Amino acid sequence: MAAETIGFVGTGRMGGPMAGRLMDAGYSLCIYDPHSEATKALVARGARLAKSPAEVASSADIVLCSLPTPDIVKAVALGPDGIVAGNRATVLIDLSTTGPGAAKLIAKGFEARKLTLVDAPVSGGIKGAVNGTLAVMVSCPKATYERVEPILKHFGKLFYTGDKPGTAQTAKLANNLMAAAALVITSEAVAMGVKGGVNAKVLIDIINASSGRNSASEDKFPAPCFPARSISVSPPAFPTRTCGSASMKPKPWASPWSAAQRCGRCSRSPTPNMARHPTSRRSQRCWRNGPAWKCAASFGSDRGETRLP
């Protein structure tokens, strides 16, 4: 039975279940969330409610936070009523997805107070938070990792990515990029199938029994998309076979669907050196300079997002 008090800031949809798992493990919690509804269940179980993140950081040696945006994380960590204003905490475990830039900024801001940031974004959604099956990516000094590992293991499987702030965030964003791409391309594939006369649910069942299955087709589509409601789609254009041999000629449903078009362009231009020597430095350079990398680097740039380096 754990005895120490842990601080937790942000007890909403993800933070609430994770904080609950710590209480299940026997930890005492001091919590803060600006929304009272988010704290009621934990307070009812015995958690102490603080009035600010600073108060949380004055009540525990280790504080966790699970917050929705980088700006909120930065304010909670570095603001006048933030973690840096506390007088006890020495470690902040950030479970949010903030990006490597925010993690580095917070770590730098902690230096004067001799606080250590544990960059620990999670993946697996609310279900994973409830069941303790999240993927937890962690970057921090090794000695700190050994200190916080017994806490983080209650959330799921841990992946130590190194000792530099931001590397775990980079790993999380790589995962998010693939998850977002899966959602986009699955949406386009289902829309194409429906316009071509295939029942959407049947198509998803086919995909999930075939090589096209992915996180979107298995998790995101079945529950929200098919509960007793019809699907309205715009007409797509697209590939005749697989992405690897996709013809870019417009189909009868012609309408620009960018993800599928980019996928087709990439896959029709393979890099021979990469295929023959996938681990060589030369191959890595070929991949980085090749059409597939450029496609990935430009993904989202037309939406005002930052290009990959």
- Per-residue pLDDT at 82: 97
- Write down the pTM of the prediction: 0.74
Q: Return all residues near 264 (Cβ < 8 A) that are at least 6 apart.
A: 238, 239, 243, 246, 247, 248
Q: Cα–Cα–Cα angle for 248, 250, 255, nearest 5°?
A: 110
Contact 117, 87 (CB under 8 A): no
The CA distance from 256 to 213, in Å, is 23
Q: Is 60 exceeded by the pLDDT of residue 238? A: no
* Span 64-77, average pLDDT: 97
The residue with greater pLDDT, 285 or 97, is 97
- Residue 187 vs residue 152, higher pLDDT: 152
pLDDT at 286: 37
Instruction: Kindly state the tokens that stand for 64.
Output: 């966790």
Q: In 3D, which of 233, 232, 252, 239 has the Cα closest to residue 212?
A: 239
Active site positions, annotated: 172
- The per-residue pLDDT for range 243-293, each reduced to its tens digit, is 333 333 334 444 445 665 665 555 444 443 333 343 334 433 433 444 433
Q: Say whether pLDDT at 23 is over 60.
A: yes
pLDDT at 148: 98
